[in-house]
Every structure is written in structure tokens, then in C-alpha cells.
Amino acid sequence: MKIKTMKKGDEKYILQAAKLLVEGFKDNWPNAWPDLESAMEEVKECLGEDRICRIAIDENDNVIGWIGGISRYNGNVWELHPIVVDNQHRNKGIGRQLVKDLEEQVRNRGGTTIYAGTDDENNMTSLSNVDLYDNLLDRIRNIKNLKGHPYEFYLKLGFKIIGVLPDANGLGKPDIFLGKRVVDWTK
């Protein structure tokens, strides 16, 4: 596997990346990219000048994962959006390698922090279906993963939960924000 930049004109890769979005999000976030058309739009947006768009390619030159980054706060902070790995290639370290690669890309552009938002629309954590305006900090401190929510993937990579937006996706359906500094604080 190798990781490289996806560019405008890489039609084969663009189509494969769009298909990964539809397939990868359909079970737990079906409204994110419900069809190929919406996914193609997302991929093409990720190819913009102020974006990072990196793909993991297998030995047959097929996209098996991809990650995007969006410049925020004058390039100091980058939003990780989106990340997806082909279902057949999950739990093999590809997502981890894509995130590490994005960290390097952000550092090379002078960025200091990466953040990601990960919705809980399907009662996947203990933060869903509760009033997060009541005792929020304790609820975050004691978060439980009930159904394989990806926030734990980010925690394993050194991200920290930096906030929650209650009701972001409807009553009792929060967005969980995670962040990570990608430069040495002491330098």
C-alpha cells in the first residue's frame, strides 16, 4: 500500500473514493453521503486549493482508503474530513497510516492542530439520548462506547475529546469533537 495525493483529473480514483464514502457510511451515517452523486460532490470539494486529499492505494492501483483535510483558522488548524477505509481493509492499520500522513501534511503546511467531528446519530455512545446540558464535563469524562463508535479510533491515535455539540443531529444526537496538536509544544 502507498499513500499519495489525489488530484483533479484522477477520475478513476475520484470515482473509487466516492464509492468508498457511500459504502463506508451507509450503516451508521446513511444521510452523510446517501448516493454516488453526493459522494462525488464531496470528493471534488476535497480537491480544492485549501484542502488536503490523500488516498491509500493497493498493489492493484485501487483506492482502499482516503482522508481529507480542510484549512481553518488561517492554516493553524485543519479539520480532518472525511476519512474512510474500504470495509474489506479495515482493522489493518490503513486508517492509522492515513491519519499519520495527514498529520505530516498539516505540519508541512505550518499547521499545529487537527480536529475531527464524529456524530453519534445512532446511540453508539453514552453521550446520546441524554441531556448534555446537564453535567456535560462529567459525561465526557465518563464516555462509554456502546456500539463501536469511531471516537475510540481517534483516542488511540493521540486525539483528545475537546468538546461536544449537543443535539447537532437532532435531539439527543451529538457531534463529538476530537483534537490533536501535531507539533511539539515545547519548541
pLDDT digits (tens, 9 = 90+) for 146-173: 999 999 999 999 999 999 999 999 999 9
Q: What is the band of 38 on the pLDDT scale with cuts at 50, 70, 90?
A: very high
pLDDT tens-place string over residues 80-132: 999 999 999 999 999 999 999 999 999 999 999 999 999 999 999 999 999 99
The pLDDT value recorded for residue 71 is 97
Q: What is the band of 35 on the pLDDT scale with cuts at 50, 70, 90?
A: very high
Average pLDDT of the residues in 71-77 = 97
- What's the first-to-final CA gap in the chain, in angstroms? 33
User: Residue 186: is its pLDDT beyond 90?
Assistant: no
The pLDDT value recorded for residue 65 is 98
Average pLDDT of the residues in 7-32 = 95
Q: How far apart are CA 113 and CA 120, in angstroms?
A: 23
Which residues in 36-153 belong to E strands, given as ranges? 51-57, 63-72, 77-85, 113-119
Q: How far apart are CA 125 and CA 176, in angstroms?
A: 10
Question: Regarding predicted confidence, which is higher, 55 or 27?
Answer: 55
In the sheet that holds 51-57, the strands lie side by side as: 2-5, 51-57, 63-72, 77-85, 113-119, 175-181, 160-165
Say if CB 17 and CB 66 are below 8 A apart.
Answer: yes
What is the location of CATH 3.40.630.30 in the chain? 1-90, 112-187
**Numbers of helices and strands, H then E, in the chain:** 5, 7
The CATH homologous superfamily of the domain defined by 1-90: Gcn5-related N-acetyltransferase (GNAT) (3.40.630.30)
Domain 112-187 of CATH type 3.40.630.30 = yes
Say if CB 88 and CB 100 are below 8 A apart.
Answer: no
User: Residue 28: is its pLDDT beyond 80?
Assistant: yes
What average pLDDT is seen over the chain? 96
Tell me the C-alpha to C-alpha distance, in Å, between residue 66 and each of 14, 26, 62, 82: 10, 16, 11, 8
User: Residue 187: is its pLDDT beyond 80?
Assistant: no
Q: How far apart are CA 180 and CA 182, in angstroms?
A: 6
User: Residue 185: is its pLDDT beyond 90?
Assistant: no
Q: How far apart are CA 143 and CA 149, in angstroms?
A: 11
Say if CB 179 and CB 115 are below 8 A apart.
Answer: yes
Contacts of 80 (CB under 8 A, 6+ apart): 67, 68, 69, 99, 102, 114, 115, 116
